[in-house]
């Protein structure tokens, strides 16, 4: 299967075939495509075109395509379909975790209606159970499909039971071992079963070292565990240790990427999760709030500067370097906080005490501050600035770099302690705060040095 | 197995037990830990302490711990060991991909020496082969361990062969089907084998739809394919279509996370990949270059401002809003470029033409610019600023927001076209560029309006 790349020509071809009702060629065009590729095509089609194409897909493919659509597109598409068709054509052909994801996007009445049309009552109750978990918990990430054997069985009984169980499961990664109360005891690998003789008991050969997670655990913890222990699938247990589901790594990959992207967006001052394809209005709404915070800071800064108006009128050269100092403060703050936010997000804070972290950050700050101060000092000597200006800029640079890096390090830590996402800090708070502080320090130092030397 | 959390007390306990040569208690302390947990402990120990602990680990655990160490720690630890011990105790107990990763960190002479001590010549040649691929290619990510069957075999022959093959493989995720020339034909799932009768031929029941990747493909492409198609494992083929290895998702998760973190760091103005635990010197080296670029921009800006010195001395209130305009330009640029960098990184550019993107970005820019201009206009009315100042600030705000968002959108696109990582742009280039442009536009407008009205 070749790697598929969507082109404008390809979309135009499909749109044309749809318009001409050319079912024969259309089927030929899409027959070999992976559902994920068809989903990409769907994103480019109108609702009517999408509905036409949908009629040509077999049930399994249609379900897979639906899962791969962006949420907005999926919702508008499902809105046009009766609940019974959604249940029969889509939900019945999905794994329970995907089914729960799709249903969770509907309003409550529709959820109940769709669930009522699912023929297999066990599947319906599994999905209802999954829907009951809070968002961003292990329970909301897991699927019910898994293969389990009892520790009292022998290998023959296992294989017989597994043959039945695999009909509901796409891929077999692990076989879980439970006791008579469904409490998770361990795993038994297919490898081990292939190597064992058929009358051996599960309890004599299973592996009791199994890492599991509580259904109430946060998704972040799930991601950390799977990442740290290099797991492809993680069993989920309830408060009694009973096996209730399993999480596969592909669901967690999405979470990891989204979190990393969210941190980056927050740090860039974007307050909502937006993508290229979102509407103009949504983009504006996501961007303007932080610009407002920045503006409030800038306006407040304008009041600070105005307090030094007399000095500025007398020595206008003071303002030449004001933007430099403010910008450097902002930059240093962003750097320090980015390191800290990533360390917090990845759980790599280490066990250094706060004092050791402080010591380290102070060292980095002093080194950087010295380097930058010396450079700006030399620059002012070179261009022949006055003694007062040269000293003002160099000392302000030093003070601002040290101050900004300390703020950048400790604000995220403090926000994290009070359970605010520290990534927020790297955007609005820190830049604005350091801009203002930088200007204030600079103007105060200038008032002092110009007072002494002029 | 409980979820392990490393504490300072725990480390102190282990250090104490090491110091007292208390092997009995030390063994008890660590016996139940996962190798990934022991690796965390290692990061906190001195080289001598680590060496002592290492003697208590069985070979499999020692190999796993080594893989889980940070590169720096691993290198300093291996430096102290003879090549023969590295080969026998570590490499022999690792999968080929991990072995190749560890060996690739050594200098060339050491690499040869270690390889020469590996008893199994096939394994040694597999590792040597993996080492031959360039960094960040599918070949460098893959492992050689996999299970394959020939399409001409029946199920009985498959199972017999698999029983032999699984001894070298930790977990069986997929069984690959190849022809007599080792060309990849498809997969056969364990599920299918469990359900099939034992005299059926592989060629009659295998699944020919298999997504594979060339060994020369870039890691980014590997990540995109596995993410898009939700794959846990991806087979790797050479230029003749022959099956040469497989990549598992856990290796790709690391890559995905590292890329996302790298983008964030670049956008925050950190030029090298650093972590909390890196040295003060490395942190400083990673941060100062971009501060220098920012400073160069700031110094250049100081020359621009000085060109307007006369105006500033006459109307010092002009400078009150200069930092506001510069900062807003910087902020808008960062936002626009962050969206674009993420879209490029995730391959979600869509197939909109550049013109449609331009149209959309212009709409967002005009909306935001209008909102911010009106606000700052009202602010100046409120505080009773002069007509000239009020008009200067409002028009400059409008111009800067529009200009900065266009730069923020198109600079990453252009950098990407010439194969420079566009994430670089969101840091240094865009902020500095927009700071300077903002000031210039503002000061020019102020010269005009103050000339007209005063």
Listed range (A344-348, B12-16, B236-240) with the worst mean pLDDT: A344-348
Question: Do B223 and B284 belong to one domain?
Answer: no
Higher pLDDT, B51 or B172: B51
For residue range B193-216, list pLDDT tens digits in order. 777 887 889 999 998 989 999 999
| B270 at interface of A, judged by CB pairs closer than 8 A | yes
Q: What is the CATH number of the domain that holds B106?
A: 1.25.60.10
* pLDDT of residue A193 exceeding 70: yes
Question: Do A408 and A333 belong to one domain?
Answer: yes
Separate counts of helices (H) and strands (E) for chain A: 23, 6
Question: Do A291 and A429 belong to one domain?
Answer: yes
* pLDDT of residue B173 exceeding 70: no
Beta strand residue intervals within A145-183, DSSP E: 147-150, 175-178
B194–A159: do the CB atoms touch at under 8 Å? yes
- Count CA atoms within 13 Å of residue A366 on its CB side: 7
For chain B, positions 271-330, list CB contacts with chain A under 8 A.
274-277, 280-281, 283-284, 287-288, 290-292, 294-295, 297-299, 301-303, 305-306, 309, 312-313, 316-317, 319-328, 330
Q: What is the CATH number of the domain that holds A319?
A: 1.10.357.20
Is A270 contained in some domain? no
For residue range B281-315, list pLDDT tens digits in order. 888 888 888 888 888 888 888 888 889 988 888 88
- When pLDDT is cut at 50, 70 and 90, the band that residue B348 belongs to is low
| A261 at interface of B, judged by CB pairs closer than 8 A | yes
Question: Do B292 and B330 belong to one domain?
Answer: yes
- What span, in angstroms and rounded, lies between the C-alpha atoms of B386 and B395? 14
Is A274 contained in some domain? no
Question: Do A115 and A201 belong to one domain?
Answer: no
Contacts of B155 in chain A (CB under 8 A): none
| A227 at interface of B, judged by CB pairs closer than 8 A | yes
* pLDDT of residue B101 exceeding 70: yes
- What span, in angstroms and rounded, lies between the C-alpha atoms of B139 and A317? 59
Question: Nearest-CA residue of chain A relative to B312?
Answer: A316
Q: What is the CATH number of the domain that holds B192?
A: 3.10.580.10
- When pLDDT is cut at 50, 70 and 90, the band that residue A354 belongs to is low
Q: Look at residues B329, B327, B321 and name the one whose alpha carbon lies nearest to residue B376.
A: B321
Boundary-marking domain end, from A136, A171, A198: A136
Q: What is the mean pLDDT of residues A211-232?
A: 89
For chain A, positions 329-368, list CB contacts with chain B under 8 A.
330-332, 334-335, 337-340, 342-343, 346, 348-351, 353, 360, 363-364, 367-368
* pLDDT of residue A272 exceeding 80: no
Listed range (A270-279, B70-79, B154-163, B427-436) with the worst mean pLDDT: A270-279
Min Cα–Cα distance to chain B from A409, Å: 11
Higher pLDDT, B173 or A13: A13
Is B262 contained in some domain? no
Q: What is the DSSP string of B30-70?
A: HTT--HHHHHHHHTTS-HHHHHHHHTTS-HHHHHHHHHHS-
Is A2 contained in some domain? no
Higher pLDDT, A212 or B5: A212
Listed range (A154-158, A222-226, A388-392, B342-346) with the worst mean pLDDT: B342-346
Contacts of A11 in chain B (CB under 8 A): 351
pLDDT of residue A170: 61
pLDDT of residue B1: 45
* pLDDT of residue A383 exceeding 80: yes
* pLDDT of residue B135 exceeding 90: no
Boundary-marking domain end, from B192, B223, B257: B257
Domain that holds residue A57: 8-136
Question: Do A323 and A446 belong to one domain?
Answer: yes
pLDDT of residue A409: 85
A256–B256: do the CB atoms touch at under 8 Å? yes
Task: Kindly report the average pLDDT of chain A as a whole number.
Answer: 85
A368–B284: do the CB atoms touch at under 8 Å? yes
ipTM exceeding 0.90?
Answer: no
Contacts of A64 in chain B (CB under 8 A): none
* pLDDT of residue B165 exceeding 60: yes
Place of tokens 């399994």: A60
Is B141 contained in some domain? no
Q: Look at residues A171, A175, A172 and name the one whose alpha carbon lies nearest to residue A155.
A: A175
Task: Kindly report the average pLDDT of chain B as a whole number.
Answer: 85
A268–B323: do the CB atoms touch at under 8 Å? no
For chain B, positions 12-41, list CB contacts with chain A under 8 A.
34, 36
Whole-model pTM: value is 0.74
For chain B, positions 87-106, list CB contacts with chain A under 8 A.
none
Boundary-marking domain end, from A109, A136, A163: A136
Contacts of B342 in chain A (CB under 8 A): 261, 264-265, 275-276
* pLDDT of residue B20 exceeding 70: yes
B232–A171: do the CB atoms touch at under 8 Å? yes
Question: Do B249 and B291 belong to one domain?
Answer: no
Long-range contacts of A159-168 (CB under 8 A, 24+ apart): A159/A193, A159/A198, A159/B194, A162/B194, A163/B194, A163/B195, A166/B190, A166/B191, A166/B194, A166/B195, A167/B195
Sign, CA dihedral B369-B374-B380-B382, equals: negative
Is A196 contained in some domain? yes
Structure tokens at B228: 């898009």
Question: Do B364 and B317 belong to one domain?
Answer: yes
For residue range A50-61, list pLDDT tens digits in order. 888 888 888 889
Sheet with A147-150, edge to edge strand ranges: A147-150, A175-178, A184-188
Question: Do B89 and B25 belong to one domain?
Answer: yes
pLDDT of residue A1: 45
Out of A163, A249, A319, name the one closest to residue B319 (CB).
A319
In sequence order, the β-bridge partners of residue A435 are none
High-pLDDT (> 90) share of chain B, %: 27
- What span, in angstroms and rounded, lies between the C-alpha atoms of A383 and A57? 73
Contacts of A401 (CB under 8 A, 6+ apart): A328, A329, A332, A365, A368, A369, A372, A373, B291
Number of domains chain A is built from: 3
Out of B36, B265, B331, name the one closest to residue A228 (CB).
B36
Question: Do B294 and B315 belong to one domain?
Answer: yes
Determine if residue A84 is left, alpha or beta; phi over 0 gives left, psi from -120 to 50 gives alpha, anything else beta.
alpha
High-pLDDT (> 70) share of chain B, %: 93
- What span, in angstroms and rounded, lies between the C-alpha atoms of A212 and A174? 13
Min Cα–Cα distance to chain A from B186, Å: 10
Is B230 contained in some domain? yes
Higher pLDDT, A316 or A198: A316
In sequence order, the β-bridge partners of residue A186 are A177
Mutate to test the interface with B, among A324, A340, A432, A442 (most CBs of B within 10 A): A324
* pLDDT of residue A190 exceeding 60: yes
Question: Do A130 and A162 belong to one domain?
Answer: no
- What span, in angstroms and rounded, lies between the C-alpha atoms of A369 and A375? 10
Question: Do A375 and A345 belong to one domain?
Answer: yes
Question: Nearest-CA residue of chain A relative to B3?
Answer: A211
């Amino acid at each position: 299967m070749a790697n598929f790349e969507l082109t404008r020509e390809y979309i135009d071809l499909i749109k044309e075939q749809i318009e001409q009702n050319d079912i024969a060629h259309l089927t030929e065009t899409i027959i070999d495509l992976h559902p994920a590729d068809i989903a990409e095509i769907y994103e480019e089609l109108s609702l009517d075109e999408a509905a036409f194409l949908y009629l040509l897909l077999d049930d399994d493919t249609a379900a897979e395509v639906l899962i791969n659509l962006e949420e907005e597109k999926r919702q508008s598409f499902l809105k046009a379909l009766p609940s019974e068709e959604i249940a029969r054509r889509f939900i019945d052909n999905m794994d329970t975790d995907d089914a729960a994801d799709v249903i969770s996007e509907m309003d409550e009445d529709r959820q109940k209606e769709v669930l009522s049309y699912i023929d297999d009552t066990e599947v319906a109750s599994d999905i209802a159970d999954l829907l009951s978990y809070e968002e961003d918990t292990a329970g909301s990430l897991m699927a019910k499909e898994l293969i389990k054997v009892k520790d009292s069985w022998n290998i023959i009984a296992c294989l017989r039971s597994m043959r039945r169980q695999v009909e509901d499961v796409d891929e077999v990664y692990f076989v879980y071992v439970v006791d008579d109360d469904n409490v998770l005891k361990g795993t038994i690998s297919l490898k081990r079963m292939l190597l064992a003789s058929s009358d051996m008991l599960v309890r004599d050969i299973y592996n009791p070292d199994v890492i599991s997670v509580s259904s109430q655990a946060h998704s972040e913890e799930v991601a950390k565990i799977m990442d740290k222990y290099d797991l492809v699938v993680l069993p989920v247990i309830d408060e009694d240790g009973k096996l209730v589901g399993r999480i596969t790594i592909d669901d967690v990959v999405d979470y990891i990427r989204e979190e990393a992207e969210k941190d980056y967006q927050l740090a860039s001052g974007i307050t909502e999760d937006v993508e290229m394809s979102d509407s103009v209005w949504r983009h504006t709404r996501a961007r303007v709030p932080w610009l407002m915070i920045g503006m409030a800071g800038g306006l407040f800064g304008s009041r600070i500067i105005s307090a030094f108006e007399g000095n500025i009128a007398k020595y206008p050269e003071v303002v030449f370097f004001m933007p430099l100092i403010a910008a450097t403060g902002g930059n240093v703050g962003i750097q320090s906080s980015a390191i800290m936010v990533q360390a917090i997000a990845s759980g790599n804070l280490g066990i250094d005490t706060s004092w050791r972290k402080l010591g380290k950050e102070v060292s980095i700050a002093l080194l950087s501050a010295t380097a930058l101060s010396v450079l700006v000092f030399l620059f002012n000597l070179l261009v022949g600035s006055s003694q007062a200006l040269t000293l003002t800029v160099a000392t302000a640079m030093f003070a601002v770099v040290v101050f900004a890096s300390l703020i950048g390090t400790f604000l995220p830590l403090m926000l994290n302690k009070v359970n605010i996402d520290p990534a927020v800090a790297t955007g609005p708070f820190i830049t604005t705060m350091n801009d203002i502080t930088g200007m204030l320090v600079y103007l105060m130092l200038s008032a002092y040095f110009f007072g002494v030397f002029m």
